[in-house]
Chains A and B, each alone.
Chain A
Amino acid sequence: GDSVTQMEGPVTLSEEAFLTINCTYTATGYPSLFWYVQYPGEGLQLLLKATKADDKGSNKGFEATYRKETTSFHLEKGSVQVSDSAVYFCVITQGGSEKLVFGKGTKLTVNP
């Protein structure tokens, strides 16, 4: 079945460091790809998305590019802030539906 593999955490960085969280997926059909974020004590919210090959999603300084040939959707940010501390989930849609398949999440801690 469809699945998502993302790098395991936790990840601890200093403020202004470069962030990469790797994500690869296995899917039948042509999924849409997402990154969702869960800040401490809050619900999940959409960070960015891409719906077709070579699309780049971006928001709040984060970026990810839909790479169909490598089935990847790596999340990057050039300079992280303490406020970026959260759990990040790589997510795909399953089989042309709106059902979401989640990676296990990567906890990011950014220290001042």
Chain B
Amino acid sequence: DVKVTQSSRYLVKRTGEKVFLECVQDMDHENMFWYRQDPGLGLRLIYFSYDVKMKEKGDIPEGYSVSREKKERFSLILESASTNQTSMYLCASINRGRGTEAFFGQGTRLTVV
């Protein structure tokens, strides 16, 4: 059974903390993505990676960075958490090719206080 696993379902962090969100996939996919989901805004792309050590900014990269040292793992880093980063974070992986299916993790609900 294919799987994308996010390290935490719920996180509460303080303003200014450095926060790490981890995502692991077991499908050998090249592409991995981080989105945030907010009510009324849908899913917005933060960063994506199309290969190990390769990354590109998405639509809302400010305040975030990413790391992909191994093919199966894609980490999202909040350098200094702020309250406006309170959100649901979703990781996805997709194989290369037209029309291929994206697989999503269960999401991490992050609250910054």
Q: Which of A32, A43, A45, A93 has the most CB of B within 10 A?
A: A43
Check A46–B102 contact: CB distance below 8 A: yes
- CB-contact partner of A44 in B90, B95, B98, B100, under 8 A: B90
The interface stretch among A11-19, A20-28, A74-82, A95-103 is A95-103
Chain B interface, number of residues (Cβ within 8 angstroms): 28
Q: Does B45 contact A (CB under 8 A)?
A: yes
Q: Which residues of B contact A42 (CB under 8 A)?
A: 106
How long is the Cα–Cα vector from A36 to B103 in the complex, in angstroms? 10
How long is the Cα–Cα vector from A105 to B44 in the complex, in angstroms? 12
Check B42–A89 contact: CB distance below 8 A: yes
Q: Which residues of A contact B94 (CB under 8 A)?
A: 98, 100
Q: Which residues of B contact A100 (CB under 8 A)?
A: 33, 43, 45, 92, 94, 102
Check B40–A32 contact: CB distance below 8 A: no
How long is the Cα–Cα vector from A104 to B38 in the complex, in angstroms? 9
Check A98–B96 contact: CB distance below 8 A: yes
